Amino acid sequence: MHPTSMTDDQRTRRAVQARGATERLSTHDIVGVAVTWVDNSGLTRVKTVPPARLEHAAVWGIGASPVFDAFLLDDSIMSGRHAGSPVGDLRLHPDLDKTVVLAAQPGWAWAPADRYTQDGDVHPQCARSFLQRMTDGLRADGFTALTALEVEWTVGREGGDDFVPACTGPAYGMTRVIELSDYARDLLSALAIQGVQVDQFHPEYGAGQLELSVAAQDPVSAADTNVLVRQTIRAVGMRHQLRTSFSPKVLPDGVGNGGHVHLSLSEDGTNQMGGGDRPGGLRATGASFVAGILARLPGLLAIGAPSAASYLRLVPSHWAGAFGCWGVENRETAIRLIPGSAGSREWSANVEVKCVDTAANPYLLIGALLAAGRAGMAEGTALPDPIEVDPAGMSDQERSARGVVELPGDLESAAAALEADPVLTEALGLELSATIADLRRAEAVLTAQLSPAAITDLARWKY
Ligand code: GLU
Ligand code: MG
């Protein structure tokens, strides 16, 4: 169970952990530990401490302003209903069980932070604690979730802010792996040294676009891994004079960078996503879980598609899952059921949420998906039949007759959908849900007069 407040016992446990971590780091010539959290706009923010200060940081936290909860992607600060004041302070407590020596940043280690108030309570806007709460809630109902985030990114040449692809080989082409051979070797090797279990790495469709997938883990670990993988990709890229973009849309035309989430759920050790008699092999519980997510996709987009660039990516026939429906191995539906191969289905079947992207805060995103799925199970939400075609080819009437949910097409509609969703707002809590909605509206204002090209320019090197 995740502590809701920093008790004396907690502090004692953290001190012991810190001594173990400091000891481990001492053999690696570490001079700084980067303690990160991901803000509500999806950017990873950091404070760093030398190893000698780690125990103090773990036990008493590192001071940080709560104003970061109100940061937009360009570092401007909105004034929200529950965030944006320069007054006050909170504490970042590194989770030292997760400390990793960074292979591509010699001298550096990393640990993700939980955020507490100065009074020792979990901070209401702590995304990592939110995810832990959602995971614990599912577990209390008897379910264990396994999740993994795919990462798509684009590599460009250094030299300016315009995008010049770092490779010219074709989509999925071996030529790209040859062009980027040393970079890719250093990336895979850094991830292996850091203990990240890579499942697959390949060139993607877009210019300079690559993709990496990792093994499924418990939800908080999956989000931590996502943060670690992204910073490793960036660090390795810099050592090869390459610029990395996780922006949902790097250029106004073409495909974007997705950040698909894979989810499976087991009860008493049985995977609910496979081996059942529902369409695609779902079991009844798995079907309700998927139905819960499907029904809440509009509000979920405020979290999973958090930037103006997200809506340039989320267009039909770009494999981004722009239609609010599900399908079996259908890459144009927002939710794709992956039943797996015959013989492996009972354990490998999972659902992939595709309409979300790499600008999303992974902790908020997975937590919100779990909350939506859990509500689907509690309510016994019915799952419509799967869509077997590209929904772009269906008429409006056909789509509505088949239960295809219209997804928000911009930040303002996503913010409104989030606020209209009682399950998501209750799970997030008033402060976090209102701040997310406020930020999406503030980014809508910031980008209102910008052309698609200007939006991609703004977001390209921020994510
Ligand atoms: N790049 C696509 C996206 O924007 C996804 C491609 C794929 O199916 O892996 O989500
Ligand atoms: Mg892909």
Residue pLDDT, tens place only, 229-271: 999 999 999 999 999 999 999 999 989 999 999 999 999 999 9
| This prediction's pTM | 0.97
Rounded distance from Cα 132 to ligand 1 centre (Å): 28
Give 174-217 pLDDT, tens digit per residue.
999 999 999 999 999 999 999 999 999 999 999 999 999 999 99
**What's the rounded Cα separation, in Å, for the pair 194 and 3?**
27
Q: Please answer whether residues 334 and 320 qualify as being in contact, where contact means their C-beta atoms are separated by less than 8 angstroms.
A: no
Give 274-300 pLDDT, tens digit per residue.
999 999 999 999 999 999 999 999 999
Backbone angles phi, psi at 348, to 5 degrees: -100, -15
Q: Please answer whether residues 231 and 196 qualify as being in contact, where contact means their C-beta atoms are separated by less than 8 angstroms.
A: no
In the sheet that holds 242-245, the strands lie side by side as 198-203, 209-214, 151-157, 242-245
Mutate to test the pocket of ligand 1, among 149, 212, 247, 260 (most ligand atoms within 8 A of CB): 260
402, two tokens: 């088949």
**What's the rounded Cα separation, in Å, for the pair 362 and 230?**
11
For residue 148, what is the enclosing H or E element? strand 143-149
Q: Are strands 44-49 and 143-149 parallel, antiparallel or unpaired?
A: unpaired
Rounded distance from Cα 429 to ligand 1 centre (Å): 31
Computed over every residue of the chain, the mean pLDDT equals: 95
CA neighbor of 232 nearest in space, from 447, 11, 36, 18: 36
Q: From the alpha carbon of 259, which atom of ligand 1 is closest? A: 10
175, two tokens: 């030529």
Q: Which residue has the tokens 């990336």?
A: 187
458, two tokens: 């703004």
pLDDT band at 3, cuts 50/70/90?
low
**What's the rounded Cα separation, in Å, for the pair 204 and 213?**
12
Residue 313, beta-bridge partner list: none
84, two tokens: 């944006």
**What's the rounded Cα separation, in Å, for the pair 420 and 410?**
16
Q: Report whether residue 152 contacts ligand 1, using a CB cutoff of 6 Å.
A: yes
pLDDT at 2: 56
Rounded distance from Cα 152 to ligand 1 centre (Å): 8
**What's the rounded Cα separation, in Å, for the pair 360 and 259?**
8
Rounded distance from Cα 83 to ligand 2 centre (Å): 35
User: Ligand nearest 260 Cα, by number?
Assistant: 1
Rounded distance from Cα 258 to ligand 1 centre (Å): 5
Q: Which residue has the tokens 């973009």?
A: 245
Give the Å distances, CA to CA, from 242 to 144, 158, 161: 39, 5, 12
Ion ligand 2: residues, Cβ under 5 Å: 211
Give 28-58 pLDDT, tens digit per residue.
999 999 999 999 999 999 999 999 999 999 9
Q: Report whether residue 332 contacts ligand 1, using a CB cutoff of 6 Å.
A: no
User: Ligand nearest 213 Cα, by number?
Assistant: 2
Alpha helices, DSSP H, located in 211-339: 219-239, 284-295, 297-304, 308-313
N residues, the chain: 463
